[in-house]
Structure 1
Amino acid sequence: MHSVLQFSGVLHVAGGEIAIAPALALLDALAEEGSVQGAARGVGISYRSAWGRIAALEKTLGRAVTVKTKGHGSVLTAFGAEFAVALRVTAERCQALLDAEAPVLDARLAALLPTPAPLLRFAVSNDALLMQALAGHAVAILGSTDAVARLAAGAVEVAGFHFGSHQAEPGSVFAALFEDLTLHIRPAFRREQGLMVAPGNPLGIRSVADLPPRRARFVNRQAGAGTRIWFDRLCAQAGIRPKTILGYETEEFTHQAVAALIASGAADTGMGTRAAAERFGLSFLPLGEETYFLAQRRAEDPSRLEAILEDLARRAGETCGYAPP
């Protein structure tokens, strides 16, 4: 057993609370990149979320931590830079104490717990149903293409992916997967995807072709995500140039995050699962059904994945917007 204790302290100030690790990561990224957009990429959040975190931090502190420079992006204020240094010193000292305690915790747990079977490592495209079935395993949530790349690199035992059609396009990374005789690819479940819109569909959106003329504020998924690949294919089929879609460059990393922005009124539409739309009380315009796959190397013990696939099939049969494979 090897315990990893991660510092996740909260700073209490007169204006409220500040989670130290996320705040420090954003400030460091801003100092390195020199722009909020670059900082957002560096910490893996959207541009809008980054500005929201900065605004919340400044409100709590009562002081500006960033300043826009004309033609040069945004930089830390003198206060922001010193605040980042103070957070870093505290975080490093606390982490050193936690690192020293980890072996002590290992020894105590070893005397209490039986030796567990090694966890399967997963790299998967985001799906709420899948996350429930993978509780207790090591899971990295990525886009479909990145998940496949992790499997190819040997960094994980299983990759989860989808591509929004019944058959992978010839020459694509997904087509190559099905041709790889070293892999065992299993359908895990089917799910419905479509356009999520505000309740009642106030803009009268019926298809992807309606987005540009109605000036609908769109929320996209990150490059490499299976849903993004599907949406781009729909745009190409409809003869729509992505740049004509308002908000096409706005990216979120999960179906739930897209749905939350629409529910909050910050966006009008985005592509996602029926389950995500229902969870946030949104209207849903179906675009089609897809199969979600799990890929595992044939050299691995297939029985370890079998129980997960059976659990997924059961969950899919009980959940709106899903079906067994």
Structure 2
Amino acid sequence: MTEPANERPVSVALGLGGLLRVGGRTVAVADALTLLRAVQSAGSVQGVAGALDLSYRAAWERLRSLESGLGRQLVQKTRGHGSALTPFGLSVCNALGDASAGLEAALAREGRAVEARLVALFTEAPRRLAIAASHDLLLMEAVEALGGSEVAVLGSRDAVQRLLDGQVDVAGFHLGAEPLAESGVPFSDLADAATLRVRPVFEREQGLMLAAGNPLGIRAFPDLAGRRFRYVNRQKGSGTRLWFDRLLAEHGLAPAEIQGYGVEEFTHQAVAAVIATGAADAGLGARSAAERFGLHFLSIGWETYYLAASAALPPETLDGLIAAVAARAERSPGYKAPPRA
């Protein structure tokens, strides 16, 4: 009985391909790497045959064909000791293996994007979208309203790295007021990547969240220095933490001068809640979080929040999410549309 197409699991695994040309001879790269790795791992032609589900004769024929294609001996057979790669064969195996490892993350990322398209074709329904994102209230609300997505709340750096490694479909991140291309890895890897789409979604106002009424009279960022005020920080790798550290450097302050620098929370809401309960006096965060908890807000500046995805992901998938978030940003205090490119 034939399994209905909409019940078949769909998965995509992309691998190293291409051709290696030596003179007038052509060798398939993936086949060459598979054979060489099998010899290296099995240590005998019989082991290669078993690993590749070939007869002993077929395994030898494939090895001889590869040697003929490259014009050099690749395998050395020693009586009583099995078979091993020659120095030349080992060098070829390492070169191709390094190329495969270097492309592994990009291939995994593109494989996810192709899989998303094929799932929709086979099942007539989109695959659940995997999102890794720095925390933002509007984004979380929009994702929940749209449905069909799973969100992992991470720091901006980790979210982008997961996208680059092919572990998620979409990454949400922010960098403070710093341009994308000047933000260092992994953010700078997104700037000129032709295989990725990076879209600004909104601008968000960030600043110091302070106790209601600002009873301690904090007027400017440098006021945080010394032991008078208790600060609550964001986790390492978050966009807000990166911005805070840049602000310290700009004002010539050391982390040791900030009481509570090592106290970390993972969302804007969590930072606001700590201040609202009186456990801390200040923390850097979004105006929207400060207003939800009735806190005083001292503006530091505006930053751009981005969404990034593989260019192979169906365009309507990313565009639909961006439109939903942008619509909420238009009517929410502390947010505004990003500048047009």
Q: What's the TM-score bracket when you normalise by the shorter of the two chains?
A: 0.5 to 0.7
Residue among 157, 162, 169 paired with 1:145: 157
C-alpha displacement of 1:179: 1.8
Aligned residue for 2:139?
130
* Long gaps (5+) in structure 1: 2-113
1:137-163 Cα offsets, whole Å, 9 max, x none, are 111100000001110111111000100
C-alpha displacement at 1:300, in angstroms?
1.1
Give 4+ residue runs of structure 1 displaced > 4 Å after superposition.
Answer: none
- Once structures 1 and 2 are overlaid, which stretch shifts more, 174-183 or 241-250? 174-183
Distance 1:127 1:281 in 2: 18
Amino acid of the structure 1 residue aligned with 2:135: N
Equivalent positions of 1:1-325 (< 5 A) are 116-135=125-144, 136=147, 137-168=149-180, 169=182, 171-213=184-226, 215-325=228-338
Q: Which amino acid aligns with 1:138?
A: E
| C-alpha separation in 1, matches of 2:266 and 2:157 | 14
Mapped to 1, the partners of 2:244 and 2:178 lie a distance apart of: 15
Distance apart, 1:199 and its partner CA: 1.0
Contact 1:221–1:254 (CA<8 Å) still a contact in 2?
A: yes
Q: Is the partner of 1:154 in helix, strand or coil?
A: coil
- C-alpha separation between the residues in 2 aligned to 1:115 and 1:124? 27
RMSD of aligned Cα (Å): 1.7
Counterpart amino acid of 1:159?
A
Give secondary structure in 2 for the equivalent of 1:209.
helix
**Is the contact made by 1:166 and 1:291 (CA closer than 8 Å) also made in structure 2?**
no
Partners of 2:209 and 2:151 in 1: CA distance: 27
Give secondary structure in 1 for the equivalent of 2:187. Answer: helix
Q: Report the alpha carbon displacement of residue 115 of structure 1 after superposing the two structures with TM.
A: 7.0
Per-residue deviation at 1:175?
Answer: 2.1
Aligned mates of 1:319, 1:161 — CA distance in 2 = 19
User: 1:134 aligns to what SS in structure 2?
Assistant: helix
Cα distance in 2 for residues equivalent to 1:232 and 1:207: 16
- CA separation of 1:166 and 1:152: change in aligned 2, threshold 3 A: same
1:206 deviates by 1.8
The letter of the residue matching 2:308 is: A
Name the stretch that deviates more: 128-137 or 276-285.
128-137
State the alpha-carbon separation in 2 of the partners of residues 187 and 171 from structure 1. Answer: 18
What amino acid maps onto 1:234 in structure 2? L
Q: How far did residue 213 of structure 1 move?
A: 3.5
- Superposed CA offset, 1:109-137 (max 9, x none): xxxxx974211110000001000111121
Give CA deviations for 1:212-251 in whole Å, capped at 9, x if unaligned: 2462100000000000000000000000001110000000
TM-score relative to the length of structure 2: 0.60
The TM-score, its normalising length taken from structure 1, stands at 0.63
Larger Rg: 2
Shift of 1:166: 4.6
Query: May I ask how many residue pairs the two structures share in their alignment?
Result: 214
Separation in 2 of the partners of 1:250 and 1:185?
32
